[in-house]
Amino acid sequence: MIDLKNPTSQQMAMEAFFFGYQAFTAKADEMLERRGLSRVHQRIVFFIARYPSLSVKELLALLGVSKQALNMPLRQLMEMHLVNSVASETDKRKRLLELTAEGERFEQALRREQVKLLERVFAEAGEAAVDGWLAVNLALGKSPVPID
């Protein structure tokens, strides 16, 4: 196992994570930029696709952001007809988010590019490495995130 008490090992681990994330996001960033969007927009459409009829409150919790931080990018996605907000049938005060047909195509195109990369590197790394990668990322996801 890597010795994280050693500064060189710390830097190596962080550099690997940085460049891995950069490679993972590069193609999606290009696709987003062509539409004048950013990664926050991708996260929004990803989670709406992952959890259909997601409430705004649930989306805020998943993203770990404030209402104020979500307001502008969500509004942009709605203005671009990628996301719809509809009243809940059980509670008209509750707004549920769904992707439009164009939003679904956009989210799938972004995801498709990232899945291609994952398929390639997972095949190269092997099953044990992929299991380790998943375990590390799941553990990172459980870590408390400082709020600005």
For the chain, domain boundaries: 20-140
CA 84 – CA 75 distance, rounded (Å): 10
Fold of 20-140: Arc Repressor Mutant, subunit A (1.10.10)
pLDDT mean over 82-109: 92
Structure-token pair, residue 91: 């509670």
Q: Is the CB of residue 56 less than 8 Å from the CB of residue 68?
A: no
pLDDT mean over 93-119: 95
* Neighbour order of strands in the sheet with 83-87: 54-55, 95-99, 83-87
Using pLDDT thresholds of 50, 70 and 90, give the confidence band for residue 148. very low
Q: What is the value of pTM for the model shown?
A: 0.87
